Amino acid sequence: MITLKAHPPTSTADDSPTPLSMIPSTGMRRHRRTSLVHCRDSNIIQDDFRQARPNRQEAQEEVQPTPVGPLQAAMPKIGYGSNKKTRHLTPSGHKAFLVHNVNDVDLLLMHNHTFAAEISHAVSSRKRIDIIAKAKALGVKVTNPKGRVTTDV
């Protein structure tokens, strides 16, 4: 049978505080929130509105499949992407979750710090009032609480 010996107390007479370098690290770090920076550039234009002139259309398709010169639209490059940690986040720091009825709000009960309820466009004003009341009771954030609701809830 193995017996364990107790270590003698290591207190000194002056009881000076232990330097921080002597305290073992717990491996925990302070959480630093990444700032929300979404790259939005007005130079990217949809190609639906930029067309070649009709008299050049056929010749251009035969020779060159992509337009060149003043017809060339700015292509989205990899540098326009957002940070992976903050992608799809609203300015409040939540991800949007589309809610169609009162029962959908219950799904967000355990995830109210990660997701925020966004009421669907097709929901009537009567159901919106019920959804907002349920979300307030559960502590879930609603991104669009003022839509179609004229009175205070």
Mean pLDDT is lowest, of 43-52, 77-86, 108-117, for 43-52
Helix spans in 18-124 (H): 54-63, 102-106
Q: Which two three-digit tokens encode residue 110?
A: 């355990």
CB-neighbour burial class of residue 3 (10 A; exposed 0-12, middle 13-18, buried 19+): exposed
- Select the more confidently predicted residue: 67 or 103: 103
Range 146-152 average pLDDT:
79
pLDDT of residue 7: 62
Q: In percent, how much of the chain has pLDDT > 70? A: 52
Residue among 93, 79, 113 at smallest CA distance from 35: 93
Q: How many CB atoms lie within 10 A of CB 99?
A: 27
What b/e sequence results for 63-84 when a residue is b if at least 16 CB atoms lie within 10 Å of its CB, and e otherwise? eeeeeeeeeeeeeeeeeeeeee
pLDDT, averaged across the chain: 77
- Select the more confidently predicted residue: 118 or 63: 118
**What is the rounded CA–CA span in Å between residue 120 and residue 98?**
6
Residue 143 pLDDT more than 90?
yes
